[in-house]
Structure 1
Amino acid sequence: MTKRRNGKEPTGTTRRLSRHAGALAATTLLAFAVPVAFVAAPVMAQSYQFQKVVIEGNERIEPETILGFAAIGKGQALSGGALNEAYQRLQGSGLFESVELVPQGSTLVIRVHEFPTVNVVDFEGNKMLKDDKLLEIVKTQPRRVFSPALLEADAAALAEGYAQAGRVNVRVDPKVIKRDGNRVDVVFEIREGMVSEVNRITFTGNRAYSDRRLRDVLGTKQAGILHRLVQRDNFVPDRIDLDRQMLTDFYRSRGYPDVEVAGVSSEMGRDREGFYLTFNIREGQQYHFGKTSVVSEVSELSAADFEDQVKIRNGAIYSPAAIDYAVTRMEELALRQGANFVRVDPRITRDPRTQTLNVEFALVRGPRVFVERIDIEGNTTTLDSVIRREFNSVEGDPFNPREIKNSAERIRALGFFSKADVESRQGSGPDQVVVDVNVEEQPTGSLSFGASYGASSGFGLNASLEESNFLGRGQYLGVSIGTTKDNQTNSIDFIEPHLLGRDLKGRLQLWYNTTDTDYADYNTKKIGITPSIEFPLARNSRLELRYTWQRNEMSGTYGYDDCVADNSVAACAASTTTESWSSPLIVRDEGARTSTGPGYTYTWDTRRTGIDPRYGFTFRISQDLFGFGGDVEALRTTALLRAERKVFHEDVTLRAELEGGAIAARGGTQLSVLDRFSGSGKVRGFESNGYGPRDTGAPNEDALGGKYYAALRLETEFPLGVPEEYGIHGGVFWDTGSVWGLDDTAGASGTVDDSMKLRSAIGVSVFWDSALGPLRLNFSHAIKKEDYDNVQNFDLTISTKF
C-alpha cells in the first residue's frame, strides 16, 4: 500500500463522503452524477432494428464485455422498453459512471464513461487499529474499479469494526481524490474518539440472585479502577446477545425453565464516553424434578432396560443438563442393543401447585436418515482430522441430531475457534443429511509471565510458552521456566489428546529443578521424565497409567566430622563461630540416587460434567511403585478429596480439601530426605519445610521430612462490599495437618521428634482479579505449632499472560 505523503490536492477535485448513509448517498450523486441521455417518452413506443452498434468512451473494458451486458444482437428487433432494459443492465454492471444509448438510424451508439480505477487506499487518523487491520475490513482495493456503493459499505464496515473494539463514537469520512489517467485515491479519514465503556450494569426483576452474582455471569464487565487496561468493559453491541444467552443458561441450569431476558436497554452517558446497561429479567418459578418414567414405542426395546439410565433423583433441582445426560445414556444403550434410528423424546409435564416437573422418556422410532458427508470450512491451520474426531458419527452412520449437537459443543470446548457453527441440511436424497461445520480460528498460543513472593523463598519470576494447537494437530506443548533466589524450575510438557486416533491422552513430561535454600544445609538437583497415557472410565472418571524415571542428587552437606576436622570439638559443638554443620541423617543421604517404576492416577471429577453447577467434587488417588531398576524400592501413595459449594445465592463459595500420603520402603531401601514428604504447600502459615520431623541437636534443627502426611484445608470466599468492577474479594481459611514418621533415627545429633503432631493456622486472604493477572495475598497466624517450627505470616502470588 502506497501512502500519500503531504500531497496538495488540486482545487475542486476533493469529494467528501460521510459514513452516514444519507449524507454519503447525496455526496456520491454529486461526485458521480449519472446523466441519463437515453430517449424521451415518445421514443419508448417506437421499435428499432440496428445493423451496427458503435461503442464510444471505453478505455479498459473490452467492447465484447459491453455488448454482453447490453445483450443487443445485430438485426434484432427491439422495442423502446427493451432498449431501456439494455441501458439498465449496463448501468447496473457497476462498471460505468455514466451510460448513454443514442439511436442514429440503423446504428446504435453506446457512450460510456468508465468508473476510475483505485490508485491508492489510505487511512489517516487511525491509532488504535493499524492500516493492515483496516485493509482486511474494506473491500475497496488498489487496481480495482472504484464503486461509490462499495465505498459507502466500507465506511460502515470500518465504523462497525471500531464499534466492536468499544469505540462507538468513531467517525469515518471517505475522501475521493481524482488523479490523471482516470484514477482516484481513496482516503478514509478516521476520528476514533474515546473508548465507550460500560460504566454500570444493572438488573431488574431478579429476586433469586443479586446483581453482583449476575454480573459475574456476563462476558461484559463494568469499568473498574484499571479500566484503561481491561477490554471486556468496552461496550460492544454484538456482545449483548451473548450475554443474554449466558444469563438464560445460568437460570435454567438452576431450575428456572421459564426464565426470560425480556430486554436490554443501553443508555449512553451525558459525556458520550460510557454506557449504562440494564437487563430486564423475568425469572419465573424454580422447579424441581418430580416423577420420572420410561416408555417404549419400539417393539424390540423394553422400557425396563432403560430405567437405570435415568439417574435423576426425585426432588432434585430441575436442570436441562440432567435430561440431556439421561437421553444420551439411553440412546447409547439403544445402539449397543443394535437398535438404530431410535430417538428418546423427553415429555415434560409440570405441576405448578408443587412446582415440580414430571419427565417421561419415550423411546420412539425416528426417520431412517443417514449422514452423507461432513463438510468442514474455515480452518486454515487446524487439520480436518482434529475436528472430525469430535464426531462420534461418520459418513454412512445413522443421523442423530442430538449427537451432532454434542459434537458441536465438543468442538467449541477445544478452545481453538472463536466461532464454531455445526448445522445439518438435506443431502442428495431425502434419506441423506450433510453436516456443515463452519469455524473461525483464533490464536491458541500464549506467552505467560508471572511473579510470586514468599517470606522464605523471596521474590520469584516465571515464564511459560504454551501452544494448545501445536502445528494444527490439536496437540499441547508447554515450556516453563521459573526462578527464585533459592530455586530454579524448568519443565517441558507435551500432550497428544487423541493418541492412535482414540480417546487416549498421551503425555510426555520432562523436568530439571535445582535448589539452594536457606532452610536446608544442602543443595539438590532433580531431573526426570514421565511418559503416560490417560483414558476415560466413565463420564466423570479417568485413569492415567505412567512410567517414571527420575534422578535426585544432594550435595553441599557439611557434617559434624567435617566441622571437627576443620575446627575444635568445642567450637563445633557450640556452632557459633564456625560454619553450621548438618544433621548426620542429612549427611548420609548425600549423593545421587535413581528411582524408576510404573504408576497410576485415578480421578473422579464432577466440576465439568456435574448437573448442579453449585456443587463440585473431586477425588484423586495416585500410586507409584519404584524398584524396576535404580536405587530406590518403595511404594508411594497420595490421595486428595476436594469439595466446593456456592451458598447465599452463590455469592459465597465454600471449599474443603482433605489430602494425605504415605511412602513405604521395600527391599531394604533406606529412604532419603528427598524421597520423603515435606511440609511444602500442605498447611498455610508455615514456611516450606517449616514443620515435620527434625533433628533438634543440629545447629539449624534440620527438617528431615516424613513418611506420612495429612492436611485439611477449609476456606470461604466472599464479596467485600467494594464495587465488583474492581475485582476484589476476600476470604478466610483454616488449615491443619502434620508430617511425621521415620524408619531410622540412629546417629542423630540430638532428639528427633517424628511423632504425629498437628499444626494449624488461620488466616485471611485478599483476591484481586487485576489487569495484570489474578493476585492473592495471604495473611496467616499459626495457632498450633512446635517450638522448632518456622512460620510464615505473609505470602503473595500473581501471574499474568501477554
Structure 2
Amino acid sequence: MTYFVGRRHGNSALTAIELRKMAAGLFLFVSMTFVSLPNIAAAQDYRFNAVTIEGNQRIEAGTILTYAGIERGKTISAGELNAAYQRILASGLFETVEITPRGGTLVVAVKEYPTINKINIEGNRRLKDEDVLPLLQSKSRLVFNPKVAERDAATIAEAYNQQGRLSATVSPKIIRRSDNRVDLIFEVFEGGITEIERISIVGNDAYSDGRLRRVLQTKQAGILRALIRSDTFVEDRIAFDKQVLRDFYLSRGYVDFRITGVNAELTRERDGYFIAFNIEEGQQFRVGEVSATSDLAEVDSDEFLKSLKMRSGMIYSPTIVENSISRMERLANKKGLNFVRVEPRITRNDRDLSLDVEFILSRGPRIFVERIDIEGNTTTMDRVIRRQFKIVEGDPFNPREIRESAERIRALGFFANADVKAREGSSPDQVIVDVNVEEQPTGSLSFGGTYSTNTGFGLLVTLKEDNFLGRGQKLNLSVSGATDNKVYALNFSEPALLGRELQFDLDIGYRETETAYANYDSTSIRFKPGISFPVSDNGRLGLFYSAEKIEMIDDGSTGYGGIVGNEIAQADILSSSLGFTYSFDTRRSGLNPNSGVLFQFGQEFGGLGGDVTFTKSTAKAVAQTKVLNEEITLRASIEGGLLEYNTGASRSVDRFQIGSGLIRGFDPDGIGPREIVYDSSGDVVSNDALGGDMFAVARFEAEFPLGLPEEYGIHGGVFYDVGSVWGLGDTSSATGTVLYEDFSLRHVIGLSLFWTTPVGPLRFNWSKALQKETEDIEQTFNLTISTEF
C-alpha cells in the first residue's frame, strides 16, 4: 500500500494510523447520509371532501374558493395545491394565506387586507391634493394593497420629477383604525428644484450655441430662475428638444444632420444639471434640378411643374417638398384626375452639394373613403372636426391628405390628444378613417396689466372662449382701462360660415379717451361685421361694414383753438362705410424660415347712410430677414394713408395721428399739423394737435444679441424712423396760427433694449430726433410692458 504524506500544523507528517481513522470516519458519514434521504419515488396526492374558510370578514367564502380553483372530491397534487395558494395570494385581497390539509378537509386561513378609510397627502406645497389624488390607484373604501400604495408613491414622485424636483421622495404609511380600516398617508418631501446650470452644443459650426439654445424648449437657469419653469430638468422635454433641433437643421438644408447623443450630468451638490447635445451638422444642400414625370396620358407634367414654387438654388427643406406634393395633388383633384399620387425621387449630388428633386406622378390604388368615425368629442360638434378634412365619404383615399387633416385638427387647440388613423373598411377598396380626440379646456378668464410712458398703467380683464358652444367659434369679451383710455370690446368669430372657408367676424366696442395732447375728450361706439376668405396660398381678402359714432367733448380746460372748438360744436357724428382689406403674407407658406414679406392694402368708403361721405385708403409693406447665421434680424416697413372727404369735413378724431407707435421718438400726436393760440402778451393759450389727412412713414430696425447669457432674455436693437403727417383741408375756423400743414419729414434714430421676462415682454427705447419742427413734442424714452396671469 502506498501512502501520500502531507503536512499538518507546520512540518508534522500524518501517520498511517491517522489516515486509516480518517477513511473509516468518511465511510460512516456517507452511509448515514444515504440512510437519511426520504423516499421520493412518488409525489403525494390529496383528495378533499370539504373545504373550510377561516378568517374572512368581507370576502365571501365562494369568492375565495373561486380563486383557489379546487373542486371537492377531485384528486389534486401538491403542486396544484401550491398553485391554489398562489392564486389566492395574487388576488391582492389578503395579507396572509395559509392552506392546511386536515385529513379529508382543506382548511384555508386568510387575513384580509384592511379597507382604506381615507387618503391624505402630507408635506406637499407645490402640488395640490386635487392634482395628486386623481393620479392614484388607491381609493377610499377600496381594499388597501401595499404594492399599489408603493406604485402610487412612485407616481407622485414622478409628478414632482416633471417639475424638476428630482430629489423628491414619497413614503406611504398607514394608521390603523377600528373595523379593519386604515388611513393611508403619503408623506412627501418635495426637495429643491434641480435646475439646468448649463446647456452646451458640441459639434456645431454653422450656428452658435446661443442661436441653437433659442430653439430649445429647455432653458438654462437665469436671473429669474424663481419664476421660470423651463430651466428644470425634464426628461420628456429633452426628447422633444432633440426633435426640434433636428427639424431646425433639416429645414435649413442640413440633410445629414444627426444627434449622436445627449449627456446629462448632475453637479456634485446634486442640485443642477449640465446638459450637452452632441451633434453632427454635415453639409448644407440646395435644390438642384426640379422635374416632373408621368406615365399617365391625361397628365401634362409641364403643367404640374409650373404650379410649383420650388426653384433651383433654394435651400433644400423637406417642408418645401411636402408643400409641392400637396400643391400638385390639389391641382390633380381640381382637374378631375382621381387617384393621382405624387412621389418625390431625390438624387444627391455631393460634388455641388445639391439635391435633384423629381416628382413622379402615377396612378395610385383605387381606394375610397367609406366613412369617417369620430369619437371622444364630448363638447366639440362633429362638423367642427369634419371640416378639417378636405375629403368626405365616397372620395378617393389620399394618405397625405389624412395626415394633413390630422395636423389641422391638432392645430385647433381644442384637444389634448388627437389621433387619426385609417383602417380597412367593409371591402379591400374601402377605408374607414377613425378620429379619436380628447377634449381640453378652451375657455379662460385672464387678468392683465399694461404700462406705457404714453398711457400710463392700465388693467385688462379678458373672458375668452375659443370653442364657443362646441361650434369652433371664438368669443372674446375684454375690458381695459388705463389712465387716459377705457375700452370695452366684444369680438366674435365664426371660422367656417355656411360650412365653407369663409370667416365671419364681429367687432363691437365702446371707448372713452381723455386726450392728453389736446383740450378735448372723446367717446366712440363701433359696430363692425365682416367676412374674409383666401384668394391664393398667401393672399386673403376681407370685406366689412363699419358704423361708428364719435363725439368730441370739451374737457373743461383753459381753452382750445377755433378748429377744435368747431369740431366739438358738431357733437356726435355717425359714419357708415363699406370697405375691404387685402393681405399677402409669405410667412403662411413657410418656404423660407428666415425671411418673409407682408403686404396689406385696404380702403373704406363712407356714405352708406351716416352724416359724412369719405374715402380712406391705407397701405403697409413689411420685409424681414435674418443674417449672419440668423444672429441678426433686419426689418423694414413702409406705411401710408390718405383720407378724402366729399361730404362733411374730417375732424381731429378722424384724421391720421401718428407718433410713438408709427414713428418713434415723439409723443402720440407729437408731430403734424397744429393750431396754436397766443394771448395778448404772446403766451401760448392752447396748442392743439390736429392730425393730418395724409401720412407716410418708413421704419428700419435691427435686433441682435448683446453677448449676455441667453437665459437672461435680453437683446438689443437699433432703429431709424422717418415720416410725416400733413394736410388739413378747410382751416377757415382757425382762431390761432396753423402750423405744419405741408409735407415735412422728421428723422429719428434710437437704441432699443428687449427683455423677455415671465412678467411680460419689456421694450425700452431711447431715441434722438435728427430733424424735427419747433413745436414737435419729442419723447426721448419709452417703456412698454404687457402681461396676463
Q: TM-score, normalised by structure 2?
A: 0.89
Instruction: Point out where structure 2 has 5 or more consecutive residues left out of the alignment.
Output: 1-37, 679-684
| C-alpha separation in 1, matches of 2:199 and 2:463 | 36
* SS of residue paired to 1:701: strand
* SS of residue paired to 2:688: coil
| C-alpha separation in 2, matches of 1:428 and 1:81 | 49
Q: Name the residue aligned to 1:774.
A: 761
2:486 and 2:511 in contact (8 A); partners too: yes
Quote how far apart the aligned CAs of 1:506 are.
1.6
Q: Name the residue aligned to 1:282.
A: 280
Larger radius of gyration: 2
Question: C-alpha offsets along residues 293-318 of structure 1, whole Å, 9 cap, x if unaligned?
Answer: 11224454332331123221100000
1:112 aligned onto 2:110: yes
| C-alpha separation in 1, matches of 2:79 and 2:422 | 45
1:623 aligned onto 2:610: no
Give the 3 Å change call, closer, same or farther, for CA 255–68 of structure 1 in structure 2: same
Q: Name the residue aligned to 2:500.
A: 502
1:21-32 residue pairs with structure 2 within 5 A?
none
| C-alpha separation in 1, matches of 2:747 and 2:516 | 23
Moved more, 98-107 or 602-611: 98-107
Question: C-alpha offsets along residues 429-483 of structure 1, whole Å, 9 cap, x if unaligned?
Answer: 54434434344625652514122222x5444444433332334433222233333
1:44 and 1:79 in contact (8 A); partners too: no
| C-alpha separation in 2, matches of 1:337 and 1:538 | 17
1:587 aligned onto 2:566: yes
* Equivalent of residue 740 in structure 2, options 749, 753, 771: 753
Quote how far apart the aligned CAs of 1:104 are.
4.1
| C-alpha separation in 1, matches of 2:205 and 2:376 | 43
* Equivalent of residue 150 in structure 1, options 142, 148, 158: 148
* Equivalent of residue 128 in structure 1, options 122, 126, 131: 126
| C-alpha separation in 2, matches of 1:173 and 1:70 | 33
Q: Name the residue aligned to 2:725.
A: 739
* SS of residue paired to 1:88: helix
Q: Name the residue aligned to 1:614.
A: 594
1:274-423 residue pairs with structure 2 within 5 A?
274-376=272-374, 379-423=377-421
| C-alpha separation in 1, matches of 2:464 and 2:751 | 33
| C-alpha separation in 2, matches of 1:691 and 1:158 | 61
1:292 and 1:359 in contact (8 A); partners too: yes
Quote how far apart the aligned CAs of 1:266 are.
1.0
| C-alpha separation in 2, matches of 1:183 and 1:494 | 55
Q: Name the residue aligned to 1:54.
A: 52
Moved more, 675-684 or 158-167: 675-684
Moved more, 480-489 or 255-264: 480-489
| C-alpha separation in 2, matches of 1:458 and 1:41 | 99
1:647 aligned onto 2:627: yes
Quote how far apart the aligned CAs of 1:611 are.
1.1
Q: Which amino acid aligns with 2:581?
A: T
* SS of residue paired to 2:98: strand
| C-alpha separation in 1, matches of 2:738 and 2:129 | 74
1:671 aligned onto 2:657: no
1:557 and 1:587 in contact (8 A); partners too: no
| C-alpha separation in 2, matches of 1:331 and 1:212 | 40
1:173 aligned onto 2:160: no
Q: Name the residue aligned to 1:33.
A: none
| C-alpha separation in 2, matches of 1:620 and 1:140 | 59
| C-alpha separation in 1, matches of 2:128 and 2:332 | 56
1:384-783 residue pairs with structure 2 within 5 A?
384-427=382-425, 430-431=428-429, 432-439=431-438, 441=440, 444-454=443-453, 456-556=454-554, 579-584=558-563, 586-588=565-567, 590=569, 591-666=571-646, 668-680=647-659, 681-697=661-677, 699-749=685-735, 750-783=737-770
2:540 and 2:584 in contact (8 A); partners too: yes
1:24-103 residue pairs with structure 2 within 5 A?
45-103=43-101
| C-alpha separation in 1, matches of 2:97 and 2:370 | 50
| C-alpha separation in 2, matches of 1:542 and 1:320 | 26
Question: C-alpha offsets along residues 359-417 of structure 1, whole Å, 9 cap, x if unaligned?
Answer: 11112333344445545555554444433332223444433221122122222322334
Give the 3 Å change call, closer, same or farther, for CA 385–67 of structure 1 in structure 2: farther
Give the 3 Å change call, closer, same or farther, for CA 70–707 of structure 1 in structure 2: same
Quote how far apart the aligned CAs of 1:544 are.
1.3
* SS of residue paired to 1:177: strand
Q: Which amino acid aligns with 1:441?
A: Q
Quote how far apart the aligned CAs of 1:218 are.
0.8
1:200 and 1:275 in contact (8 A); partners too: yes
| C-alpha separation in 1, matches of 2:71 and 2:198 | 67
Q: Which amino acid aligns with 2:636?
A: A
1:378 and 1:441 in contact (8 A); partners too: no
Give the 3 Å change call, closer, same or farther, for CA 690–752 of structure 1 in structure 2: same
Quote how far apart the aligned CAs of 1:179 are.
3.2
Q: Which amino acid aligns with 1:151?
A: A
Quote how far apart the aligned CAs of 1:514 are.
1.6
Give the 3 Å change call, closer, same or farther, for CA 86–429 of structure 1 in structure 2: farther
| C-alpha separation in 1, matches of 2:211 and 2:266 | 24
* SS of residue paired to 2:686: coil
Q: Which amino acid aligns with 2:672?
A: G
* SS of residue paired to 1:744: coil
Q: How large is the RMSD of aligned CA atoms in angstroms?
A: 2.4
* SS of residue paired to 2:653: coil
Quote how far apart the aligned CAs of 1:207 are.
0.7
Tell me how many residue pairs correspond in the alignment. Answer: 742
1:737 and 1:759 in contact (8 A); partners too: yes
* SS of residue paired to 2:718: strand
Give the 3 Å change call, closer, same or farther, for CA 357–230 of structure 1 in structure 2: same
Q: Which amino acid aligns with 1:676?
A: R
Give the 3 Å change call, closer, same or farther, for CA 41–306 of structure 1 in structure 2: farther
Quote how far apart the aligned CAs of 1:151 are.
1.6
Q: Which amino acid aligns with 2:729?
A: D
1:331 and 1:343 in contact (8 A); partners too: yes
| C-alpha separation in 2, matches of 1:368 and 1:54 | 68
Q: Which amino acid aligns with 2:765?
A: N
Question: C-alpha offsets along residues 71-117 of structure 1, whole Å, 9 cap, x if unaligned?
Answer: 33444454444444333332322223233333444443333332222
Give the 3 Å change call, closer, same or farther, for CA 102–430 of structure 1 in structure 2: farther
Quote how far apart the aligned CAs of 1:601 are.
1.1
Question: C-alpha offsets along residues 195-250 of structure 1, whole Å, 9 cap, x if unaligned?
Answer: 11111111001111111111110111111111101111121111101011111111
| C-alpha separation in 2, matches of 1:213 and 1:412 | 28
Question: C-alpha offsets along residues 18-43 of structure 1, whole Å, 9 cap, x if unaligned?
Answer: xxxxxxxxxxxxxxxxxxxxxx9979
Question: C-alpha offsets along residues 690-740 of structure 1, whole Å, 9 cap, x if unaligned?
Answer: 111222456423222211111101111111112111111111111111111
Q: Name the residue aligned to 1:22.
A: none
Question: C-alpha offsets along residues 508-532 of structure 1, whole Å, 9 cap, x if unaligned?
Answer: 1111112222311222111111111
2:173 and 2:186 in contact (8 A); partners too: yes
Quote how far apart the aligned CAs of 1:44 are.
8.8
| C-alpha separation in 1, matches of 2:549 and 2:92 | 74
Q: Which amino acid aligns with 1:665?
A: Y
Quote how far apart the aligned CAs of 1:647 are.
1.0
Q: Name the residue aligned to 1:257.
A: 255
Give the fraction of aligned pairs with identical amino acids, expressed as a percent: 49
* SS of residue paired to 1:285: coil
| C-alpha separation in 2, matches of 1:87 and 1:365 | 64
| C-alpha separation in 2, matches of 1:768 and 1:104 | 82
2:420 and 2:433 in contact (8 A); partners too: no
1:269 and 1:275 in contact (8 A); partners too: yes
Q: Which amino acid aligns with 1:604?
A: F
Instruction: Point out where structure 1 has 5 or more consecutive residues left out of the alignment.
Output: 1-39, 559-577
Give the 3 Å change call, closer, same or farther, for CA 379–280 of structure 1 in structure 2: farther
1:557 and 1:582 in contact (8 A); partners too: no
Question: C-alpha offsets along residues 52-89 of structure 1, whole Å, 9 cap, x if unaligned?
Answer: 33333322222332233333344445444444433333
| C-alpha separation in 1, matches of 2:131 and 2:400 | 39
Give the 3 Å change call, closer, same or farther, for CA 605–109 of structure 1 in structure 2: same
